[in-house]
Amino acid sequence: MLAFVPVLVAWGQAARFGLPYIPPLLPYSESAATGPHGFPMWVRYCHFFNFLFLTMLIRSGLSILMDHPRLYFNNDCTPGTEWIRLSPLSVPADRMWTAKDDARYISPLAALPGYRHTIGIARSWHFLNVYGFIITGLIFVSLLFSTTQWQRLVPTSGTVFVQAWSTFVHYANFHFPPEPNGYYGYNALQQLTYFGMVFVMGPLSIATGLAMSPALVNHFSRFGGRQAARSIHFMAMLGYVVFIIVHVTLVALTGFMRNMNHIVVGTDDLGPLGMILGFVGIGVVLLCWVVAHYVSWKRPRRLQHLQRTISLPLLLATFNRVAPGQRYRIDEASPHFWPNGKMPEREDWKRLAADHFREYRLQVGGLVENPVELSLSELQALGMEEFVTMHHCIQGWTGIAQWKGVPMKTLVDLVKPTPAAHTVVFYSFGKGLYGGDYYETQRLEDVLQPACLLALEMNQRSLSDLYGAPLRLRVENQLGYKMVKWIERIEFMESEKHVGQGEGGKNEDDEYFDLLPNI
């Protein structure tokens, strides 16, 4: 509703005082052409690639959003506290409702890849295109300030704000203001809008994306407004969509042929070449959408591996070096902590649960000098630590909880891995979403980080069956699917390639998730 306030004010101003006069703003004109004019090739190429990457980011972002179609400004994510819900369903009170149950369908005509439970593929596209988006932006800004083209976008006088409002009053009252030839300069509202898109919206989108990283949130003190960042990220996406619609509409209404020649071929004439090549460029973007859809469903493993090849070295060099250090208070624990995963159906787990896991023994073996079997009391005797941290699900929800358990470093010191052991495999009593035993792997270096626990307690109580009893993993710089619940046994091995399909976990095998999800 707040978005309509400026429109109402503009209507009132025009009704009371008439449309405002708009004097020339720019120190150069079509006749003089003393300032920067025209669109060099680098501007035109950046314009095209920015459009391509931005549309791919929007489409993949919609698929990610619909895996948890609720947006909040609080980190508890309690159903009913969201400011917008993009789902017709309310959480039922008479049965268990997991975060996976809450995920919704979205058409592949709107989203990439679309449908349901495809967040792993959507994230691959999102990260691949965000690299292109950032690189294009850096090239554009670097060349902008190494030439005089920056004068087109950067306001140098306060009068631009007054004239921008006057221009807006014209548009809001369905009148076109005096339009300069865009080849030589923009009107004040255009200038501020383009400045905002490049220097505000772009950095804001990147910053809010980073603010959703569990590695950063659980390291920096009170950095943890992940849900606010997610909501702002969503609103930035809406801003891009509105900008594209308005921008294309005005390009068409203010001289389509001439405007297309400006930005496509860099000329100021009324020939058809710019329009023809412009439609070819739009066709290329649409073809990329079609190819991306085909790759998503016919070559998803190659997509996963491509994204991993690019992202994994970057994560290892940056986010994965940020050790968890965030501390919340127990009274900040979330009143609702979304359950997830399929409860174990195995009879041996049910028998153990019925006896409160008195007979449970954690088996730890593989490439170790001292394989062990430990009861819960023996695990507790190794020494317990506790942390209050924010849990980050790949679907988008968060929750604060206290976890108490045995540091993995203590267990590693006890079993003494051999030099050949580089990977730790955590096997669950539970099943994956699409069947098969659930498991996940961690690099040995990662389980030695602070706050990596085999948790026996949650919020000062023994783990409940729903949240992973008798034992679950906590790795606070990663997303939640890596934190195996209902742990049956642990095995040290040479590489993740020697278990399952060799991708590093059940979700990596079946849903093409990330191997190292620090963001």
**Span 340-375, pLDDT tens digits:** 988 999 999 999 999 999 999 999 999 999 999 999
End-to-end, the C-alpha distance of the chain in Å comes to 33
Predicted local distance difference test score (pLDDT) of residue 179: 82
Query: Is 0.85 surpassed by the pTM of this model?
Result: yes
Residues of the chain with pLDDT under 50: none
Question: What CA–CA distance (Å, rounded) separates 227 from 74?
Answer: 6
As annotated, the residues of the chain forming the CATH 3.90.420.10 domain(s) are: 327-511
Buried (b) or exposed (e) across 337-369, using 16+ Cβ within 10 A?
bbbbbbbbeeeebeebbeeebeebbbebebbbe
Taking 3-state DSSP, the helix, strand and coil percentages for the chain, each rounded to the nearest 5, stand at 45, 15, 40
What's the confidence (pLDDT) of residue 23?
Answer: 80
What is the CATH T-level fold of the domain 327-511, as seen in this structure?
Answer: Sulfite Oxidase; Chain A, domain 2 (3.90.420)
Q: Buried b / exposed e across 106-137, counting CB within 10 Å, b at 16+?
A: bebeebbbbeebbbbbbbbbbbbbbebbeebb
Question: What is the structure's pLDDT at 306?
Answer: 98
Amino acid 222: pLDDT:
59
Q: Which residues contact 148 (CB under 8 A, 6 or more apart)?
A: 35, 36
Q: For position 223, what pLDDT does the model report?
A: 57
Output the CA–CA distances (angstroms, integers) from residue 21 to 164, 170, 193, in the order listed: 11, 10, 20
* Alpha carbon 19 to chain centroid, angstroms: 43
Supply the pLDDT for residue 27: 53
Question: Mean pLDDT across the chain, nearest whole number?
Answer: 93
What are the tokens at 145?
């300030």
Instruction: Give the pLDDT confidence score for residue 455 in this predicted structure.
Output: 98
For residue 79 the two structure tokens come to: 């159903």
> Looking at residue 7, what is its pLDDT?
87
